Amino acid sequence: MMQGSISNRIRTLRFMNGEMSQAELGQRIGLTRQTIAAIEAGKYSPSLEAAFRIAQVFNVPLGEVFQWDVQATPLKAS
């Protein structure tokens, strides 16, 4: 299975949108401030719907908010 991790640019995007607070972002997409903080810190992966809502708030494509970082897997010796 392909190994990887999800990273995000929510902190940067909040800054670029007038230093929007976590509480305000959460309020606009129906999540709590704590959940936004957990998503930002990479400790909680949001549902696809929540991810699209976040992208919609910042008016950017989903890929600009979340990235899938593929980790290189060592090749097996034959």
Binding site for another protein (CB under 8 A): 26, 30-32, 34-35, 37-38, 40-41, 43-44, 46-47, 50
For residues 11 and 73, which CB has a smaller minimum distance to another protein in the complex?
A: 11
C-beta pairs of 8-12 under 8 Å, 24+ apart in sequence: 8/39, 8/40, 8/42, 8/65, 8/66, 8/67, 9/64, 9/65, 9/67, 10/36, 10/39, 10/40, 10/54, 10/65, 11/40
Write down the least CB distance from residue 55 to another protein, Å: 16
Instruction: State in angstroms the smallest separation of the CB of 26 from another protein.
Output: 8
